[in-house]
Amino acid sequence: MTVFSGVIFTIGLGVLLIAVMKSLILEQVLTGGIGSIILEQAPTEVGSANIVSSVLLAYRGLDTLGELTVLFVAATAIGLVLGQRSPDTKHDSEAGFILRSAADLLFPFMIMLGAYIILHGHITPGGGFQGGAILAAAFFIPILASPASPLNHKVSSLIEGLAGTAFILIGLFALVGKGYFLAPLFGTGDIGALFSAGSLPLLYLAVGLKVGSELAGLLARLQEV
Amino acid sequence: MTETIGIQLVSYSGAMGLILLGIFALVNYEHLIRVIFGLILLEAGVNLFLITLAYRADAVAPIMIEGQTAAMVDPIPHALVLTAIVIGVAVQALALALVIKTYQKYGTLNTRILAQRIAEESGTRMIEGIPTEVKKV
Amino acid sequence: MLFGIALISIIIMLGSAFAVLFFENYLASVVALSVMSLALSVLFVVLQAPDVALTEAAVGAGVSSVILALTLRRIGLWQDKS
């Protein structure tokens, strides 16, 4: 009976969505708006070649701060829910030779890829969130290989706190200097150069370190049995 | 131009399929892990729907390249979806941590059995699946 | 050309989304979810959103699947049937 009503509900919703599709796609209801204004003005105002990152960090920088807060709250809550383990719990046994040596070999390359993606976030696709996820994976693979040497939660929380503070401090400097919270600092530079777009690379560095340490801490907590 | 409309139609139907599958899982399954699978599918469908709305005919990705004059797709939904994916994973991790805690306390993840156990624990009675206060005589 | 890529990735995506819900083994469902995220990120590239595609591949297909698999290990559902 429950399955039947669920199927009926889903079919009804499907009919509704088909009706919405007809007006949305075939008649092109949504055209332009604020997006086209940002496309015109972002290169001169922010100077970032990747317009998505100029929306994320300059025009809607406050939203990114809110997103970082949500991530922080989620990571803290997971630490509270799962964190109470006694210090004498047994670890998993050590992984095999192949996984251990592959983890040692992969670690510098993954750190390099993560750093590249974070630092080039304002000129190519990528940025703090993607690079942070790759950094977290780089620190998680050695934990899988040798569970007896777990992640140092104190160091990861310290990096996380420092990165969050740096993000807010850059925003406050902009508030003092330019009159808006998180307004782009230091001029725009040449579009497409590594040192361009003012304070955007610094902000992305802070976001990448924060996301990376948070995700690494989260994965390490879930891995501890 | 016709190719553009074809891509839009195909990806819209993909988004619709993901949303419907997710809602079907949310409504239908009793196991909490399956419900979280449905939540993830629903979220992926909504993200695909927003990106489909940003797509324009003959437009390129919103990245400035020297000497390129073609029109660009709308960057606002891209920034939105980027935010939504990361927050989605955080919410999912929190939900899974609560699932682990629930399993450790009650030993089951079936929502019906869970509702019964919680009702027994708090001294309420189930009436048609809903915990109801028992009047003390 | 682009339409063909979009069609193929949609078919893979919806097929693995069905598989997520109808596989009996939970670990197989998690793997199908990862495949779904990967096909979705190919589709994002076709829709001219490379930033979102990179995020979906790194966060959706990578971190999310690892979180789910670790949870399954912790509550002992590696081999269990639903």
CATH architecture of B2-106: Orthogonal Bundle (1.10)
Which residue of chain B is at minimal alpha-carbon distance from C63? Answer: B89
Please state, as a whole number, how many other Cβ atoms lie within 10 Å of the Cβ of residue A15: 8
Any CB–CB contact under 8 A between C47 and chain A?
Answer: no
In chain B, residues with a C-beta closer than 8 Å to the C-beta of C19 are: none
Answer yes or no: do A219 and C70 touch at CB < 8 A: yes
Residues C33/C68, Cβ–Cβ less than 8 Å = yes
Tell me which residue in C47, C55, C64 faces B82 most closely, judged by beta carbons: C55
Of A71, A64, A61, nearest in space to A213 by CA: A71
Inform me whether the pLDDT recorded for C82 exceeds 60. Answer: no
Token couple for B44: 């992926």
Of A201, A78, A208, nearest in space to A139 by CA: A208
Tell me which residue in A50, A215, A222 faces C74 most closely, judged by beta carbons: A222
Q: Taking the domains of chain C in order of start, what are their residue ranges?
A: 2-74
**For an interface test with A, which of B9, B20, B27, B104 has the most A Cβ atoms less than 10 Å from its Cβ?**
B27
B126/B134 Cα distance (integer angstroms): 9
Tell me which residue in A125, A140, A215 faces C51 most closely, judged by beta carbons: A125
CA distance A67 to chain B (A): 7
Q: Is residue A2 part of a domain?
A: no
Q: Is residue A215 part of a domain?
A: yes
CA distance C28 to chain A (A): 19
Instruction: For chain A, positions 196-225, list CB contacts with chain C under 8 A.
Output: 215, 218-219, 222-223, 225
Q: Which domain holds residue A140?
A: 32-223
How many Å from the N-terminal Cα to the C-terminal Cα in chain B?
A: 74
Q: Is residue A10 part of a domain?
A: no
- Report the 3 state secondary structure along chain A: CHHHHHHHHHHHHHHHHHHHHHHHHCCCCCCCCHHHHHHHHHHHHCCCCEHHHHHHHHHCHHHHHHHHHHHHHHHHHHHHHHCCCCCCCCCCCCCCHHHHHHHHHHHHHHHHHHHHHHHCCCCCCCCHHHHHHHHHHHHHHHHHHCCCCCCCHHHHHHHHHHHHHHHHHHHHHHHHHHCCCCCCCCCCCCCCCCCCCCCHHHHHHHHHHHHHHHHHHHHHHHHCC
**For an interface test with A, which of B1, B21, B28 has the most A Cβ atoms less than 10 Å from its Cβ?**
B28
Q: Is residue A193 part of a domain?
A: yes
Inform me whether the pLDDT recorded for A66 exceeds 60. Answer: yes
How confident is residue B41, by pLDDT bands cut at 50, 70 and 90? very high
Q: Taking the domains of chain B in order of start, what are their residue ranges?
A: 2-106
Tell me which residue has tokens 């670790």.
C70
Comparing A54-58, A102-106, A197-201, which segment has the lowest mean pLDDT?
A197-201
Inform me whether the pLDDT recorded for B131 exceeds 70. Answer: no
Tell me which residue in B31, B41, B63 faces C82 most closely, judged by beta carbons: B31
Tell me which residue in A130, A140, A223 faces C58 most closely, judged by beta carbons: A130
Any CB–CB contact under 8 A between C67 and chain A?
Answer: yes
Q: Is residue A184 part of a domain?
A: yes
The predicted model gives C62-67 an average pLDDT of 88
How confident is residue C60, by pLDDT bands cut at 50, 70 and 90? confident
Inform me whether the pLDDT recorded for A76 exceeds 50. Answer: yes
Q: How far is CA A185 from CA A65, A163, A213, B27, B31, in A?
A: 17, 18, 26, 50, 51
> Left, alpha or beta for B136 (phi > 0: left; psi -120 to 50: alpha)?
beta
Taking one residue from A and the other from B, the number of pairs with CB-CB distance under 8 angstroms is 120
CB within 8 Å of C75: residues ≥ 6 apart: B99, B100, B103, B109
Residues A204/A127, Cβ–Cβ less than 8 Å = yes
**For an interface test with C, which of A130, A135, A151 has the most C Cβ atoms less than 10 Å from its Cβ?**
A130
For chain A, the domain total comes to: 1
Chains contacting B with at least 3 CB pairs below 8 Å?
A, C
Share of chain C above pLDDT 90, in %: 29
Inform me whether the pLDDT recorded for B48 exceeds 80. Answer: yes
Q: Is residue A114 part of a domain?
A: yes
The predicted model gives C10-23 an average pLDDT of 90
Q: Is residue A195 part of a domain?
A: yes
Inform me whether the pLDDT recorded for B82 exceeds 50. Answer: yes
pLDDT digits (tens, 9 = 90+) for A91-142: 667 778 888 888 889 889 999 998 998 888 888 888 888 888 898 888 888 8
Q: Is residue A55 part of a domain?
A: yes
Answer yes or no: do C63 and A219 touch at CB < 8 A: yes
Any CB–CB contact under 8 A between A123 and chain C?
Answer: no
Residues A125/B61, Cβ–Cβ less than 8 Å = yes
Tell me which residue has tokens 């990862």.
C34
